[in-house]
């Protein structure tokens, strides 16, 4: 087939990981890959480590309003770059500046989506896309342009074909490999879809309770002295070796579960409904595979965390459950390569 020009939109470290092995394989096959990124957290660090051809459009805003103010700038920058590249395919989340710039240039935009509650983003991006690609478990329906796959986006980089845990992560921890530990995650709450949501009411109290049973390692989007200092590329190894994950934000909860680590997600709407009930990913991981649990409040989450830690067999049980899942789910990188090449056949 002819060589494709593919532009990838990145606005979060997770997207860097999703496209990492896809980009490498597509280049091997003779295609051209360009990455247009907005820097958030470790995004630029990971791009520098894993990619050759990328451009940073600017820094992500820290509030919804600052994001909106920067949108016009990002759209102009993206349009200028895409006009120069003239891509056949543009791929990414429902990213307004990428979708709208591509609509002017005329490439096929493929939205990758697993966040049902981002409805306002869908309203201003889906009409300009050719396909909307989601996990099979996704709760919404985008009509004729909706394409489903039997996996999770996280299995583009955490499938055993692509991931191997690195024990070097222990070099950055202040306890031995024989000691149990819990990864505790707090987020910044500044994403579009985080508005009106809440998580841990008093995370320091929760940590203090859990510390009676295991070491606690904090990974926080809010920079503070409690944050463990490990290279970002070792974060998934940290999750793999952990005895338990507790935290806000769905991405790392799903990652931990897919790595066979007991995973507890704590997040709710303003009316007190657990957001896990609105996520096909989280529902499938809970109901079908028993790899993840979600709660609307800290009290119930911490009580369950204690129960998991008190059962010394928990980690082995979760590893077996992970093996069951991996037998049923596909390597998303392999699927994405075939799907993208077939778009222009």
Q: Give the Cβ contact number of residue 62 at 10 Å.
A: 11
Q: How far is CA 208 from CA 216, 238, 302, 315, in A?
A: 9, 20, 11, 22
Show Cβ contacts of residue 270 under 8 Å, excluding neighbours closer than 6 positions.
196, 197, 198
CA distance 59 to 230: 22
Token code pair at residue 95: 């990213």
Same domain, 52 and 174: no
Same domain, 78 and 194: no
Same domain, 75 and 97: yes
Identify the H or E element spanning 189.
none
Of 53-62, 106-115, 192-201, 215-224, least confident by mean pLDDT is 192-201
Residue 225 has pLDDT above 50, yes or no: no
* Cβ 57 vs Cβ 36: under 8 Å: yes
CATH number at residue 322: 3.40.50.2000
Q: What is the pLDDT of residues 295-304, one digit of tens each?
A: 999 999 999 9
Same domain, 17 and 119: yes
- Token pair 């583009």 in the structure block, residue: 156
Cα-flanking dihedrals φ and ψ of residue 146, to 5°? -80, 125
Same domain, 145 and 186: no
CA distance 190 to 240: 27
Same domain, 117 and 192: no
Same domain, 319 and 336: no
Same domain, 150 and 245: no
Query: How would you class 246 by CB atoms within 10 Å of its CB: exposed for 0-12, middle for 13-18, buried for 19 or more?
Result: buried
Same domain, 195 and 280: yes
Token code pair at residue 326: 């991996």
Same domain, 74 and 137: yes
Q: What pLDDT was estimated at residue 188? A: 55
Token code pair at residue 34: 């360009």
Q: What is the pLDDT of residues 328-338, one digit of tens each?
A: 999 999 999 99
Token code pair at residue 227: 């944050």
Helices (DSSP H) in 226-297: which residue ranges?
235-241, 250-258, 280-287
Q: What pLDDT was estimated at residue 251? A: 93
Model pTM?
0.94
Token code pair at residue 252: 């790392």
Q: Find, among 63, 118, 71, 68, the residue nearest to 94 by Cα.
A: 118
CA distance 243 to 179: 10
Could you write out the three-class secondary structure of 35-49? EEEEECCCHHHHHHH
Which residues make beta-bridge pairs with 39?
A: 59
Q: How many domains does the chain have?
A: 2
Q: What percent of the chain has pLDDT over 70?
A: 93
* Owning domain of residue 323: 167-328
Residue 177 has pLDDT above 80, yes or no: yes
Residue 193 has pLDDT above 50, yes or no: no
Same domain, 127 and 193: no
Across the range 314-319, mean pLDDT stands at: 98
Q: What is the pLDDT of residues 113-156, one digit of tens each?
A: 999 999 999 999 999 999 999 999 999 999 999 999 999 999 99
CA distance 71 to 65: 10
């Amino acid at each position: 087939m002819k060589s494709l020009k593919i532009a990838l939109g990145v606005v979060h470290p997770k997207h860097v990981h999703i496209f990492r092995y896809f980009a490498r394989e597509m280049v091997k096959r003779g295609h051209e890959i360009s990455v247009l990124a907005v820097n958030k957290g470790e995004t630029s660090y990971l791009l520098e480590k894993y990619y050759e051809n990328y451009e940073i459009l600017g820094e992500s805003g820290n509030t919804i309003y600052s994001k909106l103010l920067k949108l016009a700038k990002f759209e102009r920058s993206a349009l200028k770059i895409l006009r120069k590249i003239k891509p056949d395919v543009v791929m990414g989340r429902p990213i307004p500046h990428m979708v709208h710039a591509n609509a002017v240039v005329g490439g096929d935009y493929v939205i990758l989506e697993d966040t049902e509650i981002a409805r306002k983003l869908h309203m201003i991006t889906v009409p300009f896309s050719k396909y909307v690609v989601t996990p099979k478990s996704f709760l919404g329906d985008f009509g004729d342009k909706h394409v489903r796959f039997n996996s999770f986006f996280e299995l583009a980089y955490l499938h055993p074909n692509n991931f191997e845990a690195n024990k070097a992560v222990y070099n950055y921890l202040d306890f031995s490999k024989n000691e149990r530990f819990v990864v505790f995650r707090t987020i910044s709450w500044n994403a579009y879809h985080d508005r009106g949501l809440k998580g841990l009411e008093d995370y320091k109290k929760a940590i203090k309770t859990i510390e009676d049973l295991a070491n606690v390692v904090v990974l926080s989007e809010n920079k503070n002295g409690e944050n463990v200092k490990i290279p970002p590329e070792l974060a998934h190894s940290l999750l793999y070796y952990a005895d338990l994950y507790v935290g806000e934000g769905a991405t790392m909860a799903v990652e931990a579960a897919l790595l066979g680590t007991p995973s507890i997600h704590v997040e709710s709407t303003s009316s007190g409904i657990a957001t896990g009930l609105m996520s096909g990913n989280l529902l499938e991981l809970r109901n079908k595979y028993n790899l993840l649990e979600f709660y609307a409040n800290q009290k119930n989450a911490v009580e369950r965390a204690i129960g998991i830690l008190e059962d010394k067999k928990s980690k082995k049980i979760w590893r077996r459950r992970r093996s069951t899942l991996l037998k049923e789910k596909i390597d998303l990188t392999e699927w994405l390569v075939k799907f993208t090449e077939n778009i222009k056949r």
